């Protein structure tokens, strides 16, 4: 077999495996769908400006555990009214944002507007973050149904 044929076969197998993986993810996501009530009632929902400031501050936190804790608390209060603030903070710091933080934002956002999250990810200029974002929004959309 020629080198070109072997490469094409390898690519074809990779595409099939990726497709099977996504299919399994969608199936599992539907079966493991979370309850609709995720937001904490203990703290008031921040405005978009408050969310932007809080996310920006959390993203500048050097301690990984503290940063993750703060962001997860904010993501639990993310909604259609304040998501623009969180997204603005991430867009400014996307190149330095750790993958777990980016995935957390996209997962929370996909919980109430997966199409908007996916569309926004497609505008990112950093190929690795864009690819990760596409995968996360697809998986989260399947999870939330």
Band (42; pLDDT cuts 50, 70, 90):
low
Quick: pLDDT tens for 120-134: 999 999 999 999 999
32's CB contacts (< 8 A; 6+ apart) are: 143
Domain positions in the chain are 33-144
Q: 133: closest CA among 85, 84, 94?
A: 94
pLDDT of residue 43: 77
Note if the pTM is more than 0.75.
no
- Segment 76-91 shows an average pLDDT of 98
Task: Dig out the tokens for 43 from the structure.
Answer: 């703290």
DSSP class per residue in 78-117: --TTTHHHHHHHHHHHTTTS-HHHHHHHHHHHHHHHHHHH
Per-residue confidence (pLDDT) for residue 26, from 0 to 100: 53
- Tell me the pLDDT band of 36, cut-offs 50, 70 and 90: very low
Which one is predicted more confidently, 35 or 8?
8
- Decide if pLDDT at 70 tops 80: yes
């Amino acid at each position: 077999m020629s080198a070109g044929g072997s490469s094409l076969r390898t690519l074809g197998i990779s595409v099939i495996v990726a497709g099977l993986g996504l299919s399994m993810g969608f199936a599992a996501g539907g079966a493991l769908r979370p309850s609709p009530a995720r937001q904490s009632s203990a703290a008031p929902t921040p405005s978009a400006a408050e969310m932007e400031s809080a996310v920006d501050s959390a993203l500048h936190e050097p301690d990984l555990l503290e940063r993750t804790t703060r962001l997860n608390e904010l993501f639990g209060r993310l909604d259609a009214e304040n998501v623009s603030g969180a997204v603005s903070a991430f867009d400014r710091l996307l190149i330095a944002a750790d993958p777990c933080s980016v995935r957390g934002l996209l997962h929370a956002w996909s919980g109430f507007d997966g199409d908007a999250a996916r569309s926004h990810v497609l505008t990112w200029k950093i190929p690795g973050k864009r690819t990760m974002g596409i995968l996360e929004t697809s998986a989260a959309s399947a999870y939330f149904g």
